[in-house]
Amino acid sequence: MRTVQRTVEDRALLRDAATIAAAMIAVGASFGAIAIAYGLPAWVPFLMSTVVFAGGSQFLAVGLLAAGNPLAAVFAGLLLNARHLPFGLAVGDALGPRLRTRVIGSHVLTDEVAAFTLAETDPVRRRRVYLIIGATLFTSWNIGTALGVLLGGATGDPGALGLDAAFPAALLALIMPSLRDRAIRTVALTGAAVAVLLTPVLPAGLPVLCALVGLLTLVRRKR
Amino acid sequence: MMIAAIVALGVGTYSMRLGGVLLRGRLELSDALQRVLAMAAAALLAALAGTAALMAGTEFAGVARPAGVLVGGVLAWRKAPFVVVVLAAAAAAALLRLAGVP
């Protein structure tokens, strides 16, 4: 039965999805434009946005591909994307038991999908949140990529729009409810500090994975 | 070679996504372990937010971006709606840059 409460929650979810989708279109456009500016053929950004579908690794990989280093593009991209395995472990239950849903749903697992799904505590709604956010982001990212390829440099500088501040703020907003729990806050802030400190010295991707040492604060608490 | 590299990156990334999801389905996880997994994901997301807010590559990201994220973070802490947090963070960073702040 469709209750009033559920309609209100759905409307809020769609509004949040639209917010992040607008930002994804703009950043996707800058990705498409950068790939073309590097002199790569137009199919490269399209293939990446559909087959890889992980923004950070795509920016990294087009740079390395343009520099004529495809092997480095693969390894650096995979290192950056390794965090999706723990994300799958943490939110994979939201996809339910059906193999087909899990096989298709896995492809749209991103940082934002993990964050939105974790922020939803109701087990029935988690699946809805995961799939709606995943589908919205996949669509908007690819629309953005196409716009960037078509319009090139005319898409504008994402920095001038402050989009580089929008994504970290969005992640922060999504994990904020769990940060109100003291144990989670200690784990997360320790992990974030470790990652920031290691960023200047480790290759991209590894510092974020090192944030998992934040879990060690739990061991100390229990003793 | 380029197409092979992109497909390899795509297949590898998908394997890690699917691997985590399928593994989750196979394991009988206690409530305590489920909580630890959620914490692990929160730590990774906090690290992503932290590094993306403060760092550009291996250098510091300047002033405008961290300041924008801080504005968004304070609003999020005060339970402002998601749309407001995201727009305020972007607007703060954009306005600071317009004013010549790096």
pLDDT in tens, A122-148: 988 999 999 999 999 999 999 999 999
Helices of type H across B1-102:
2-26, 31-54, 64-77, 82-98
Interface test with B, best of A93, A171, A174 (most B CBs within 10 A): A171
Of chain B, the percentage scoring pLDDT greater than 70 comes to 100
Show residues of chain A in contact with B83, CB under 8 Å. Answer: 15-16, 19
H-run or E-run covering B55: strand B55-56
Q: Find, in chain B, the residue whose alpha carbon is nearest to that of A103.
A: B18
Torsion sign, CA atoms B91, B45, A53, A38: positive
Inter-axis angle of helices A55-66 and B2-26, nearest 10: 160
Three-class secondary structure of residue B56 per DSSP: strand
Q: Is residue A197 part of a domain?
A: no
Question: What number is the average pLDDT over the span A138-161?
Answer: 88
For the full predicted model, state whether its pTM sits above 0.90: yes
Please answer whether residues B43 and A214 qualify as being in contact, where contact means their C-beta atoms are separated by less than 8 angstroms.
Answer: yes
More confident residue, A141 or A161: A141
Question: What number is the average pLDDT over the span A82-96?
Answer: 96
Whole-number pLDDT of residue A221: 57
B99 touching chain A per CB within 8 A: no
Show residues of chain A in contact with B50, CB under 8 Å. Answer: 168, 192-193, 195-196
Q: How many domains does chain A have?
A: 1
**Which residues face B59 on adjacent strands?**
B56
pLDDT higher than threshold 90 for residue B22: yes
pLDDT in tens, A70-84: 999 999 999 999 999
pLDDT in tens, A170-223: 999 999 999 999 999 999 999 999 999 999 999 999 999 999 999 999 986 555
Torsion sign, CA atoms B50, B54, B60, B61: positive
Q: Which of A7-11, A52-56, A106-110 has the lowest mean pLDDT?
A: A7-11
Contacts of B54 (CB under 8 A, 6+ apart): A196, B60, B61, B65, B66
More confident residue, B97 or A222: B97
Q: Is B83 exposed, middle or buried (0-12, 13-18, 19+ CB in 10 A)?
A: middle
- CA distance readout (Å), A197 to A81, B5, B46, B60: 20, 31, 14, 11
* Closest chain A C-alpha to B102 CA, distance in angstroms: 10
A82 touching chain B per CB within 8 A: yes
How many other C-beta atoms can be found within 10 angstroms of the C-beta atom of residue B99?
Answer: 8
Whole-number pLDDT of residue B57: 86
H-run or E-run covering B59: strand B59-60
pLDDT in tens, A14-32: 999 999 999 999 999 999 9
Query: Where do we find the tokens 């971006």?
Result: B65
Q: Is residue A194 part of a domain?
A: no
H-run or E-run covering A148: helix A123-151
Please answer whether residues A175 and A211 qualify as being in contact, where contact means their C-beta atoms are separated by less than 8 angstroms.
Answer: no
Phi, psi of A57 (to 5 degrees): -70, -30
In angstroms, the CA B90 to CA B72 distance is 8
Whole-number pLDDT of residue B27: 87
Question: What number is the average pLDDT over the span B72-94?
Answer: 96
Three-class secondary structure of residue A179 per DSSP: helix
Whole-number pLDDT of residue A10: 86
Closest CA to A209 of A187, A189, A194: A194
Global ipTM: 0.94
In angstroms, the CA A222 to CA A187 distance is 13
Does the beta-carbon distance from A77 to B9 stay under 8 Å? yes
Question: What number is the average pLDDT over the span A95-105?
Answer: 96
* Portion 41-70 of B in contact with A at CB < 8 A: 41-55, 58-59, 61, 64-69
Q: Is B43 exposed, middle or buried (0-12, 13-18, 19+ CB in 10 A)?
A: buried
**Which residues face B55 on adjacent strands?**
B60
Q: Is residue A170 part of a domain?
A: no
Token representation of residue A167: 């994504």
* Portion 109-168 of A in contact with B at CB < 8 A: 109, 111, 114-115, 118, 159-168
What is the span of the domain harbouring residue A66? 4-156
Question: pLDDT grade, residue A121 (50/70/90)?
Answer: confident
pLDDT higher than threshold 80 for residue A154: no
pLDDT higher than threshold 60 for residue A1: no
Please answer whether residues A55 and A80 qualify as being in contact, where contact means their C-beta atoms are separated by less than 8 angstroms.
Answer: no
Q: Is residue A50 part of a domain?
A: yes
Q: Is residue A118 part of a domain?
A: yes
Question: What number is the average pLDDT over the span B68-81?
Answer: 97
Inter-axis angle of helices A111-119 and A163-179, nearest 10: 30
Token representation of residue A31: 């990705």
Inter-axis angle of helices A70-81 and A55-66, nearest 10: 170
